[in-house]
Amino acid sequence: MAYKEFSWITKDQLKLFAQAWTPEGEVKAVLALVHGIGEHSGRYQEVASVLNREGYALIGFDLRGHGRSEGPRGHFSYSEALDDMDRLINEAQKLFPGKPVYLYGHSMGGNLVLYYALKRLPTYLRGIISTSPALGTARPVAGWKIALARVMKGISPTMAMNNSLDLAGLSRNPDIIAAYKSDPLVHPLISTRLGWDLLQSGPWLIEHAAEFPPIPLLIMQGSADQIVDPSATERFVKNAKGDITFRIWAGDYHELHNEPNRDEVFKVLLHWLEKYSFLETKPSA
């Protein structure tokens, strides 16, 4: 496995950190990763290792305000995120020219990749992978936080509050929780702007799921997720049209890639990738 760190400067002059894991030998395809709230792309090292062993590359970046990227902690707008994801995909195409590109997101990232697909209509992508998408919270958000975000998103968009993640719900593996808590690049912050965009995007995605573009979608959700609402994921899938593969993992918590049965989760992901990676890409209309 070859590893590379790099960065780019956004149009508003922020430096974003990125990294790529490349398998030995022929690359079948590349997955472009969008991580969740408060975390960073470095937490997907094990995912990269599994993918690399099977011939798939992984490229990820730290969202602005996260990990090793610049920006106020926990802050960005969805419009900024879409532009940054454009660049991520562009970097994937440059690093692995001619290879199929999949957009892969987890949690907030799982929400963002669905939002990207509906807003940008990416005919150049081979498919979308969304795990535990944040389309709704497992527990209601405090009313005062919603009111604060509504008022302050325009006045003080970078104003941060605690994201109130239930860390015990990340995984049934206690080592994963301990590592998360001790990770210096993890933070518990979310800005009023990001909080508002995230809360509004879930219902919007469910409402517009039938407009999902004609590209394959793999969406996976743990039934015992204590961070996002599994029923919101099910509503999205019920409304969506097209080539959709949906898998509910009975008893699994939020981070499917870090659950005790993650080998089975990876097996489903790899089988899906094998199904689509060698198909001819249809020309754009």
Q: Tell me the pLDDT tens digit for each residue of 36-93.
A: 999 999 999 999 999 999 999 999 999 999 999 999 999 999 999 999 999 999 999 9
Distance CA 5, CA 3 (A): 7
Instruction: Please check the confidence at residue 280 and state whether its pLDDT lies above 70.
Output: no
**Nearest alpha carbon to residue 170 among 44, 259, 269, 267:** 259
Please report the pLDDT score of residue 2 as a whole number: 96
Model pLDDT for residues 150-179, shown as the tens digit of each residue: 989 999 999 999 999 999 999 999 999 999
Please report the pLDDT score of residue 96 as a whole number: 98
C-alpha distances (whole Å) from 284 to each of 60, 115, 118, 127 are 26, 20, 16, 14
Q: Enumerate residues 6+ apart whose C-beta is below 8 A from 202.
A: 111, 134, 135, 136, 232
- Give the angle subtended at the CA of 184 by the CAs of 253 and 172, to the nearest 5°: 15
Please report the pLDDT score of residue 282 as a whole number: 44
Please state which architecture CATH assigns to domain 2-277. 3-Layer(aba) Sandwich (3.40)
Model pLDDT for residues 15-37, shown as the tens digit of each residue: 999 999 999 999 999 999 999 99
CB 44 within 8 A of CB 258: no
Model pLDDT for residues 236-248, shown as the tens digit of each residue: 999 999 999 999 9
Both structure tokens of 168: 């015990």
Q: Enumerate residues 6+ apart whose C-beta is below 8 A from 73.
A: 65, 66, 160, 187, 189
- Per-domain boundaries in the chain: 2-277
